Structure 1
Amino acid sequence: MDGSAAPGSTSLHDPGVVGLPATEIAARVRAGELSAVEVVRAHLRHLAAADARLGAFRVVRTEAALAEAAEVDASPRRDRLPLAGVPIAVKDNVAVAGEVVTDGSRAHSPAPAPTDHPVVARLRAAGAVVVGITRVPELCLYSATDGPGTVTRNPWDTARSSAGSSGGSAAAVAAGIVPLAQGNDGMGSLRLPAAACGLVTLKPGSGVVPASIGADSWSGMAENGVLATTVADLRAGSAVLAGAEPGPPPGEGAPLRVAVSTRSPLPGVRLDAAGRAAVDAVVAELRSAGHTVVHRDPPVTAGAALGAVARWLAGADADADALGLDRSALEPRSRRHAQLGRWVRRAGLVRPGVAALFRSRMGEFFDHVDVLLTPIVTGLPLPARPWHERGLLANLTANARWAPWAAAWNLSGLPALVLPAGPGREGLPTAVQLVGPAGSETRLLWLAGELERRLPWRRHAPVFDPRDPVG
């Protein structure tokens, strides 16, 4: 972080605009009730107070953000901007013009990006203001966010990780530093931080949002999305990324047929009691709302699992090549990861037919049900520690045992949504995952909104909650 802060108080709690949902901030800026500058300045104050304990940001863009906010205030289109004046954070693996993209690695090129990534351009065109760049694990490969000299912590319990690889973005939203943050998901990298930090997110299906992450978006597995505290904010942010006009929430849908499965794709890995209670709570509400719930396991085979792992390994090697990284400067775990990825690529183990077959089988599965409900993680987030000092095997084992329900939906290219639900785990949130067939993003968002009304969640971690002066 560059250490700069907006002028004014550095109190942890800055009641007023800080902590409001993105959609409410935008509505008030559009109406002229708030200026984008005062919104951004207030959030920068909260960032300066909170992030010293979290390590969510690599870069804080104080002067640039205030200048961009002034442009929003002066825009003749301000009253039509869907995210007018909304402070956002961007993950450190997509380009923000004038900023260096490091992908979490000290081996990066120091040259600033000349232009915005398409998703950043769309967010800015919608009136959002980029206040900072959030931290990621090296090459975005791991389920905890840390690196030399830094560990990104979970606002709900700073002894725990905010997960990865969009861990900095998730910590920033859960602490109320920004109401909305960009991230991306190649093996669960949006959904796992959302689960760890009590947020809602959507990994869109293939082709809905511009990807262009790294060399080849991990052979097509990685997708861009946003992290939010409300379904309305998620719907608005997702629409902007997809190049669509955010509209009113969809009306009440017909009763759905929902399959529920708690079987782990990884043999020997079990869901804990709190995770099972979260699934049970959602099942009870679905039935109460008139939906049909059936128990049915999706056809996640060993071949599909290995296909996802092959792409994950190959992605490290491809990204190191594309970024021109000095491999000797990589962390030992990442260097080994990339070495295995090179072997995978040379052996031709990234096979399009594996993904196509799995997607076809899931198409047949969704011929009989509308939505699949699963857990997303097995238990508490990983401890907040320097995982980069440990070897690849230790990282791989910890990642796989904690998050076996994520990667299949990257391989298939199907949309998957995570939302908070259930009783929680030792003071941290619990969550569930909704998966749908191709093109079902609107259906998943509608169902998530229904569950939000029936099972409301706390929007921010208590200690950092800017709407709670005694937090």
Structure 2
Amino acid sequence: MDASGGVGTARGGAPGDRAGRQRIVGLPATEIAALVRAGELTAVEVVRAHLDHVEAVDARIGAFRVVRREAALAEAAAVDASLTRFALPLAGVPVAVKDNVQVAGEVCTDGSPARESGPERRDHEIVTRLRKAGAVVIGITRVPELCLYAATDGPGTVTRNPWDTARSPAGSSGGSAAAVASGCVPIAHGNDGMGSLRLPAAACGLVTLKPGVGVLPGGIGADDWSGMAVNGALATTAADLAVAHAVLAGEQPAAPAAPGRPLRVAVSTRSPLPGAGADEATRAAVDAVVNQLRAAGHTVVRRNPPVTPAAAAGALARWMAGAEDDAEFLGLDRARLQPRSRTHARIGRLVRRLGLVRPRTQERFRQRMVAFFDDVDLLLTPVTTGPPLPARPWHERGFLANITANARWAPWTAAWNLAGIPAAVLPAATRPDGPPVPVQFVGPPGAEERLLWIVGELESRRPWRRYAPVFDPTATPA
């Protein structure tokens, strides 16, 4: 049983009827896959149930740019017919893919009408690995233009947070997060160049892991935002996240190994951006996690990481250059970009011309962060300063308004992209009037398994509600 009052089950109703489908939606990916492998459900039944749920709820949140109903059902039937179904870690699990990697047969837009291309001829390696594991891609999720911003919207659409539809699910993997938080899929693909997995997870009460550089296949835009952007997954449980991460890494899924000793965890609430500090609810959530860590026998020390102005400038330079690099790589007509993105790309062009994307800055910061972890295992920080940004057409506002709102709301994520080290986000508390309150754990290079373990450990001690109340598919009808 989870904190929402119970997990729906496929048992007790005919698999093909509406009651049976309602019970399927809301099951964790691990349980869906086990039922399909055992023959208690078919992949077609699972996928059809989730497609019906998408049809029922997506008009209110706008998570999907494309819903692949006929293609997904055909692919689910292929999973059912597969002789290897009994060994697939994600057998029949519906997934969503962010609109900045290739899905064969679908158009990839990067959230921009300036990108004109036909259907992709082949899958991105990330999509290939999901499908090889038995997952079925049921849709492509919305992103802000060129995945540059911390809210997900564009001309004619504003993607909304299932926990509070007046707020954004964040960005740039906001469509993927909204799809998971509303129960449309149990896991979704996303990627993270300045926080684009962690911020949507933070806004929507999900768990995620931004892997370290080189752990998962890249191939995001021109050059992964000068090496800062990495692929990953969003989920509602630590177990689902661990399986998704293993599949994307090309590894055999297994429960993360316990460290075998108490951890030494540094905690810092100091904001890298002066004047943009955590609100009371966020500070209280960090304190609550500190208490949980100590109760579990871990050691917690107060220590601020060495996030210097040069490191902050280095991340900012790569963010700016990323807009220009991707526009050039994709052959976009700059005149057709949104005004904020045109300015972003123009500054990025200047950044490149002045040589401000300096590998040495990145190397020095990574070395300092590796040294920081010499005598601590993990770092605990806030993720955001307060509730998610309002859901509004941010694309109609100027460049300065966008980057100011982004920076003030989310100052704790970009540094770890520059350093190329892993970081995880999980919900730690719930605001009385809206979305959950997240925290972030950061680790040294190679600490992905340790991060997955601590997320699971905290979930076992204090389970979180897996779905936004209004869209909760596991809730018992009145």
Task: Please say whether Structure 1 and Structure 2 have the same fold, judged by a TM-score greater than 0.5.
Answer: yes
How far apart, in 1, do the equivalents of 2:20 and 2:229 lie? Answer: 35
> Do 1:282 and 1:422's aligned partners in 2 also have CA atoms closer than 8 Å?
no
Deviation at 1:247, TM superposition (A): 1.3
Matched AA of 1:134: T
> Do 1:58 and 1:133's aligned partners in 2 also have CA atoms closer than 8 Å?
yes
Q: Per-residue displacement from partner, 1:123-143 (whole Å, max 9, x unpaired)?
A: 000000000000000000000
Secondary structure at 2:80's aligned position in 1?
helix
* Number of the residue aligned with 1:384: 391
* Number of the residue aligned with 2:451: 444
* Number of the residue aligned with 1:29: 36
Q: Per-residue displacement from partner, 1:301-339 (whole Å, max 9, x unpaired)?
A: 000000000000000000000111111100000011000
Q: Per-residue displacement from partner, 1:34-80 (whole Å, max 9, x unpaired)?
A: 00000000000000000000000000000000000000000000000
Secondary structure at 1:442's aligned position in 2?
helix
> Do 1:13 and 1:464's aligned partners in 2 also have CA atoms closer than 8 Å?
no
Deviation at 1:11, TM superposition (A): 8.6
> Do 1:10 and 1:49's aligned partners in 2 also have CA atoms closer than 8 Å?
no
* Number of the residue aligned with 2:265: 258
**Does 1:213 pair with 2:220?**
yes
**Does 1:340 pair with 2:347?**
yes
**Does 1:315 pair with 2:322?**
yes
Matched AA of 1:421: A
Structure 1 stretches lacking a partner, 5+ long: 1-7
> Do 2:242 and 2:255's aligned partners in 1 also have CA atoms closer than 8 Å?
no
How far apart, in 2, do the equivalents of 1:423 and 1:241 lie? Answer: 30
How far apart, in 2, do the equivalents of 1:53 and 1:249 lie? Answer: 36
How far apart, in 1, do the equivalents of 2:361 and 2:18 lie? Answer: 53
* Number of the residue aligned with 1:4: none
How far apart, in 2, do the equivalents of 1:143 and 1:226 lie? Answer: 17
Secondary structure at 1:161's aligned position in 2?
coil
Matched AA of 2:315: A
* Number of the residue aligned with 2:4: none
Find the partner of 1:409 among 413, 416, 420: 416
* Number of the residue aligned with 1:3: none
> Do 1:145 and 1:167's aligned partners in 2 also have CA atoms closer than 8 Å?
yes
**Does 1:301 pair with 2:308?**
yes
Q: 1:74 to 1:9 in 2, by over 3 A?
A: closer
How far apart, in 2, do the equivalents of 1:397 and 1:11 lie? Answer: 47
How far apart, in 1, do the equivalents of 2:112 and 2:232 lie? Answer: 22
Find the partner of 1:327 among 327, 334, 348: 334
Deviation at 1:424, TM superposition (A): 2.5
Secondary structure at 1:309's aligned position in 2?
helix
> Do 2:216 and 2:249's aligned partners in 1 also have CA atoms closer than 8 Å?
yes
* Number of the residue aligned with 1:96: 103
* Number of the residue aligned with 2:368: 361
Deviation at 1:9, TM superposition (A): 11
Query: Under a length normalisation based on structure 2, what TM-score does the superposition of the two structures give?
Result: 0.95
Q: Per-residue displacement from partner, 1:10-52 (whole Å, max 9, x unpaired)?
A: 9999521100000000011011110000000000000000000
How far apart, in 1, do the equivalents of 2:185 and 2:260 lie? Answer: 31
Kindly tell me the number of residue pairs found equivalent between the two proteins.
Answer: 464
Secondary structure at 2:401's aligned position in 1?
helix
Deviation at 1:368, TM superposition (A): 1.3
Q: Per-residue displacement from partner, 1:327-381 (whole Å, max 9, x unpaired)?
A: 1100000011000000001110000001100000011100010000000000010
* Number of the residue aligned with 1:149: 156
Q: 1:269 to 1:10 in 2, by over 3 A?
A: farther
How far apart, in 1, do the equivalents of 2:104 and 2:19 lie? Answer: 30
Q: 1:415 to 1:425 in 2, by over 3 A?
A: farther
**Does 1:159 pair with 2:155?**
no
Matched AA of 2:278: L
* Number of the residue aligned with 1:44: 51
Secondary structure at 2:250's aligned position in 1?
coil
Deviation at 1:109, TM superposition (A): 1.8
Q: Per-residue displacement from partner, 1:221-277 (whole Å, max 9, x unpaired)?
A: 000000000000000000000010001342463100000000000011111001001
> Do 2:258 and 2:450's aligned partners in 1 also have CA atoms closer than 8 Å?
no
Matched AA of 2:185: V
Deviation at 1:455, TM superposition (A): 1.7
Moved more, 395-404 or 449-458: 449-458
Instruction: Give the fraction of aligned pairs with identical amino acids, expressed as a percent.
Output: 71
1:231-310 pair list within 5 angstroms:
231-251=238-258, 253-310=260-317
RMSD of Structure 2 on Structure 1 (CA): 1.5
Structure 2 stretches lacking a partner, 5+ long: 1-14
Secondary structure at 1:213's aligned position in 2?
coil
* Number of the residue aligned with 2:429: 422
How far apart, in 2, do the equivalents of 1:13 and 1:392 lie? Answer: 48
Q: Per-residue displacement from partner, 1:189-248 (whole Å, max 9, x unpaired)?
A: 000000000000000001100011000000000000000000000000000000100013
Secondary structure at 1:437's aligned position in 2?
coil
Q: 1:377 to 1:425 in 2, by over 3 A?
A: farther
How far apart, in 1, do the equivalents of 2:157 and 2:252 lie? Answer: 38
* Number of the residue aligned with 2:3: none
> Do 1:135 and 1:145's aligned partners in 2 also have CA atoms closer than 8 Å?
yes
* Number of the residue aligned with 1:5: none
How far apart, in 2, do the equivalents of 1:162 and 1:14 lie? Answer: 26
How far apart, in 2, do the equivalents of 1:13 and 1:135 lie? Answer: 29
Q: Per-residue displacement from partner, 1:419-454 (whole Å, max 9, x unpaired)?
A: 000242522100000000000000011111110011
